[in-house]
């Protein structure tokens, strides 16, 4: 008999011999200690010990005594790690957990344990590493080659069993890794985390959010080439991602290269079509997205393409959608509308839009005040 460490269940050797080729190719490290061996007897004694301090000392002796047995060392160090975690010494817990991983680097149980400790210690650098290593193991389950000696049906069943057994661990690591990305404030560190995470979880259920964080981070880093590349890749995977459409529309709206203005309008129009802001079930997020998209089109028309007349209905629609939803975006749309009206010498309408914009604390407040002063001066002169 063998002890399969993790659950500590005892499994008959005859069962292990049923699919020897599959066992050899199974993804992840499985710690096995044969039942009836000296190692197994000592583990039984340690398990029966109720005093935590004595149990810790016994595990440390166990690791030293069986230093030539990698499985015993890995398991012993893992138990020492968990003992330190229970005692609240998280640094020691991580230290011994890493020693356990040294002997079983692809063991999902240990990786989950380490991720939990890192999470508790608020050590995001280690947490993203454990999540990424675990993600690689999870992704490898379906990629493992079929042994020649195993039938297609047996192999398929074995893979499904492995996926099912690993699901909870993989889900935890996937979520834990994403939370690291979401909580990181430094753009460079966040982007490094995203690259590790994306490689480990290529089909993550959080892939849309990760793509948005990536483009936001690259924008902060002013890495425009990678931003566009990442955005286009994200849209290829999900053509209806509103956040990605708006980020690309906004980027091209600000870009001065030939052809960028047309791309900005195209992406913004797609965002409007996806948002369906006039649909009965449209929520605040969809209305806000459509409002921002109309603003981008209005700005391109007014400031880039000299289509001022066409800009006004876009910006009027934007203000209607954004009012009461997002003051910053509402102020942005109002300034653009005031500018467009002023350019067409519709000074009364320009004054109304700009008078509303100056009431809102925003990046457009000062320039709205300056433009309003010019509009008022022009109106006075006209009188």
pLDDT digits (tens, 9 = 90+) for 31-42: 889 999 999 999
Q: What is the mean pLDDT of the chain?
A: 89
Model confidence at 87: pLDDT above 70: yes
Asked if 362 contacts 328 with a C-beta cutoff of 8 angstroms, the reply is yes
Residue 269 in tokens = 């129009």
SS3 for 19? coil
SS3 for 179? helix
pLDDT tens readout for residues 172-223:
999 999 999 999 999 999 999 999 999 899 889 998 889 889 988 998 998 9
Asked if 352 contacts 319 with a C-beta cutoff of 8 angstroms, the reply is no
More confident call, 202 vs 113:
113
The CA distance from 329 to 287, in Å, is: 12
Packing angle of the helix pair 38-48, 70-87 (nearest 10 deg): 10
Full DSSP string of 310-367: HHHHHHHHHHHHHTTT-HHHHHHHHHHHHHHHHHTT-HHHHHHHHHHHTTS-STTHHH
Number of Cβ atoms within 10 Å of the Cβ of 160: 12
The CA distance from 109 to 86, in Å, is: 17
SS3 for 147? coil
Beta bridge partners of 4: 9, 32
SS3 for 238? coil
Asked if 24 contacts 36 with a C-beta cutoff of 8 angstroms, the reply is no
257: left (phi over 0), alpha (psi -120 to 50) or beta: beta
Model confidence at 353: pLDDT above 60: yes
Percent of the chain with pLDDT over 70: 92
Of the listed ranges 15-19, 77-81, 103-107, 177-181, the least confidently predicted one is 15-19
Residue 383's pLDDT is: 59
Over range 129-145, report the average pLDDT.
93
Band the pLDDT of 28: cuts 50, 70, 90: low
Model confidence at 6: pLDDT above 90: no
């Amino acid at each position: 008999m063998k002890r399969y460490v993790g659950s500590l269940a005892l499994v008959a050797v005859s069962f292990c011999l049923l699919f020897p080729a599959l066992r050899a190719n199974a993804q992840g490290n499985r710690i096995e200690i044969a039942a009836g061996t000296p190692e197994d007897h000592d583990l039984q004694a340690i398990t029966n010990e109720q005093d935590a301090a004595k149990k810790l000392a016994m595990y440390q002796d166990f690791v030293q005594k069986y230093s030539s047995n990698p499985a015993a060392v890995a398991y012993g160090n893992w138990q020492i790690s968990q003992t330190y975690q229970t005692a609240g010494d998280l640094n020691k817990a991580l230290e011994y957990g890493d020693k356990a991983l040294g002997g079983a680097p692809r063991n999902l149980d240990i990786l989950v344990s380490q991720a939990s400790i890192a999470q508790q210690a608020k050590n995001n650098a280690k947490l993203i590493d454990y999540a990424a290593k675990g993600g690689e193991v999870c992704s490898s389950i379906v990629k493992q080659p079929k042994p020649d000696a195993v039938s297609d049906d047996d192999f398929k069943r074995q893979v499904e069993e492995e996926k099912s057994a690993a699901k909870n661990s993989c889900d935890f690591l996937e979520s834990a890794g994403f939370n690291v990305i979401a909580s990181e404030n430094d753009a460079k560190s966040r982007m490094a985390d995203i690259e590790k995470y994306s490689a480990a979880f290529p089909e993550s259920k959080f892939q849309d959010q990760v793509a948005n964080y990536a483009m936001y981070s690259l924008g902060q880093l002013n890495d425009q080439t990678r931003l566009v590349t990442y955005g286009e890749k994200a849209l290829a995977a999900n053509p209806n991602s509103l956040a990605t459409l708006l980020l690309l529309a906004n980027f091209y709206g600000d870009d001065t290269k030939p052809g960028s203005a047309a791309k900005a309008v195209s992406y913004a129009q797609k965002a409007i079509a996806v948002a369906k802001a006039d649909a009965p079930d449209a929520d605040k997020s969809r209305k806000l997205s459509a409002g921002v998209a109309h603003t981008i089109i209005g700005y391109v028309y007014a400031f880039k393409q000299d289509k001022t007349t066409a800009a006004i209905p876009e910006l009027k629609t934007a203000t209607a959608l954004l009012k009461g939803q997002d003051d910053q975006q509402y102020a942005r749309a109002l300034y653009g509308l005031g500018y467009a009206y002023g350019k067409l010498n519709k000074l009364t309408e320009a004054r109304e839009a700009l008078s509303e914009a100056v009431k809102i604390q925003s990046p457009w407040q000062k320039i709205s005040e300056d433009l309003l002063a010019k509009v008022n001066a022009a109106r006075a002169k006209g009188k």
